[in-house]
Amino acid sequence: MNILLMTAAFFGGALAAYIYTGMLWESVRTVAVGKKNMVLIIGGFALRIGLCLAVFIAAGYDGNFYRLFACAAGFIIMRGIRVNTLKNKKMKEGKPGGN
């Protein structure tokens, strides 16, 4: 088990989660202000899912489940961090519904 590849898988998952939540945040903000562009919503969804699939497939390309688990761990941890920071940012702006 190569520790360098495990670390790369972990940070790859973390980076994917960072980008995923950022894109999701922008999509939600766009819909919230009234710009309900279905192409933007569906296109953003497809890009987010495609990004996550590509990262997870790259992490487990040779059947190594440990790298796949490392990638998932990085994704879950970064997603939790990112959601909390975006929630705190929203609460500082004084907007309701920051839970």
Q: Determine the Cα–Cα distance for residues 21 and 23; give it in Å rounded to an integer.
A: 5
Q: What's the predicted TM-score (pTM) here?
A: 0.82
Mean pLDDT, all residues of the chain = 86
Q: Determine the Cα–Cα distance for residues 5 and 10; give it in Å rounded to an integer.
A: 9
- 35-39, 48-52, 54-58, 75-79: the lowest-pLDDT one: 35-39
Q: Render pLDDT for 40-67 as a digit per residue (tens, 0 to 9).
A: 888 889 999 999 999 999 998 888 899 9
